[in-house]
């Protein structure tokens, strides 16, 4: 097998490539949000209802912590039940059990996890009415994230940024239920700030407060109050978590675009949730500081998302986007992911007749506890990683990194960039699928 160092380097490169891949998918929801609804008969196409359900189910495969009786992905079991025990506050350990593993590893990176939660919440806010029976599952997926972020922001003077030693975790190939690598907690404080991770958590909490407003008013209010607290912390104590967290952030999820975009993004969501003018004033005062030529949108750069939120309140000069064109482009991209592409392959695991079967994902590759109750240590999973056989556990709904620019795809867990799924790829796709699940949409 390749050396652990080589394997880790591949995973790091894969995550950077995955960020560029997710940009395409997230742009779909960016376009859909700004369009004008035109009612026409829906054209026969993909089974968006099936894809929607599976895209949400995927998040149950990424859960960390004590799993509920309602858990549908049965091959996953409880994991990381002592997270937070290394942080002592008033002689008591923090409880950081819960949240999501970001991708095919067993680390909880709160920066991309918060973006994931924001996008799930935005999907419900904009398109919840089109989710049908999947709305409850979508809200459950959001709550799994927000319950964890409530714990991660319990104390006003610190915000937890990462749980799990990324270097040691990436050097092992073991299922989350068995992991014995250090569960180190990395956090930011007043003296070691992390404005990007804190502001993104604030955005996630604010967006989620809107998503829960009609079904759980008490929880919604709690989320909003915590969002205000965390945003104030992010804005008052400015600095990048790259420096404060060190190897907990870099090179895995370094903030490359700076933290100002997250502060604007967080303020925009707080304005949307509260209509408090001070947040809108913050957006107006700072929005010129972002690069208008950078249209990227993902866990790092929030520029395109900010533009969408701002455009919902003010016009962009005399520019008017053609809604039919935007919808058609978004639909073509969604259909490509689901199988309408040169390879005839769905890039969502479990959807269609042909999909990736050797994805780069520890829990999916290594035998489940049901199949192999004995402990599997750090290197015990190597034989499964090296195997050319299909994964033992199907991570239904996972959208992988995807094909190369020439539409080629290698279904191999060694090919990290193409075969690794992430939560922040799936999250924006949920909203896209919900939109096209409507009975009436504009298509050519």
Catalytic annotation, residues: 360
Pairing of strands 108-109, 88-89: unpaired
Residue 352 and residue 50 in contact, taking contact as beta carbons nearer than 8 Å: no
Using DSSP, state whether 79 is helix, strand or coil: strand
Interatomic CA distance for residues 349 and 396, integer angstroms: 5
Using DSSP, state whether 273 is helix, strand or coil: helix
Residue 161 and residue 245 in contact, taking contact as beta carbons nearer than 8 Å: yes
Pairing of strands 185-189, 158-163: antiparallel
Q: Which two tokens stand for residue 264?
A: 């604007």
The residues pairing with 270 across neighbouring beta strands, listed in sequence order, are none
Interatomic CA distance for residues 299 and 59, integer angstroms: 17
* Closest among 163, 172, 161 to 199, alpha carbons compared: 161
Interatomic CA distance for residues 391 and 355, integer angstroms: 12
Biggest CA–CA distance in the chain, Å, is 65
């Amino acid at each position: 097998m390749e050396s652990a160092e080589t394997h880790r380097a591949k995973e790091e490169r894969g995550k950077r490539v995955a960020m560029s891949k997710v940009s395409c998918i997230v742009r779909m929801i960016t376009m859909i949000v700004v369009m004008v609804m035109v009612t026409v008969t829906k054209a026969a196409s993909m089974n968006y209802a099936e894809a929607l359900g599976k895209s949400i189910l995927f998040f149950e495969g990424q859960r960390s912590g004590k799993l509920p009786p309602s858990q549908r992905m049965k091959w996953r079991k409880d994991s990381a039940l002592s997270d937070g025990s290394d942080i002592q506050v008033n002689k008591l350990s923090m409880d950081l059990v819960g949240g999501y593993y970001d991708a095919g590893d067993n680390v909880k990176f709160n920066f991309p996890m918060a973006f994931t939660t924001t996008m799930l919440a935005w999907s419900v806010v904009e398109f919840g009415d089109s989710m049908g029976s999947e709305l409850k599952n979508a809200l459950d997926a959001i709550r799994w994230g927000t319950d964890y972020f409530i714990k991660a922001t319990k104390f006003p003077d610190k915000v937890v940024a990462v749980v799990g030693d990324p270097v040691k975790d990436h050097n092992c190939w073991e299922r989350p239920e068995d992991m014995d690598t250090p569960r180190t907690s990395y956090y930011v404080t007043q003296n070691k700030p992390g404005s990007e991770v804190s502001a993104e958590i604030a955005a996630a909490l604010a967006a989620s407060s809107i998503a829960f407003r009609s079904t759980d008013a008490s929880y919604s209010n709690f989320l909003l109050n915590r969002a205000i607290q965390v945003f104030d912390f992010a804005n008052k104590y400015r600095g990048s978590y790259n420096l404060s967290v060190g190897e907990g952030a870099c090179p895995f999820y370094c903030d490359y675009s700076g933290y100002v975009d997250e502060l604007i993004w967080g303020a925009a969501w707080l304005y949307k949730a509260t209509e408090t003018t001070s947040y809108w004033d913050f957006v107006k005062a700072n929005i010129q500081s972002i690069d208008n030529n950078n249209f990227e949108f993902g866990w790092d750069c929030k520029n395109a998302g900010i533009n969408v939120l701002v455009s919902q309140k003010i016009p962009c000069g005399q520019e008017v986007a053609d809604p039919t064109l935007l919808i058609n482009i978004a639909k073509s991209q969604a259909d490509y992911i689901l199988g309408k592409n040169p390879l005839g392959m769905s890039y969502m695991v479990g959807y269609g007749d042909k999909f990736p079967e050797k994805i780069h994902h520890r829990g999916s590759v290594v035998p489940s506890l049901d199949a192999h109750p004995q402990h599997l240590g750090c290197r015990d999973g190597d034989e499964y990683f090296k195997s050319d056989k299909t994964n033992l556990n199907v991570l239904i709904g996972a959208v992988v990194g995807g094909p190369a620019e020439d539409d080629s795809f290698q279904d191999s867990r060694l090919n990290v960039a193409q075969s690794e799924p992430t939560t922040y790829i799936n999250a924006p796709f949920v909203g896209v699928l919900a939109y096209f699940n409507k009975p009436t949409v504009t298509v050519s």
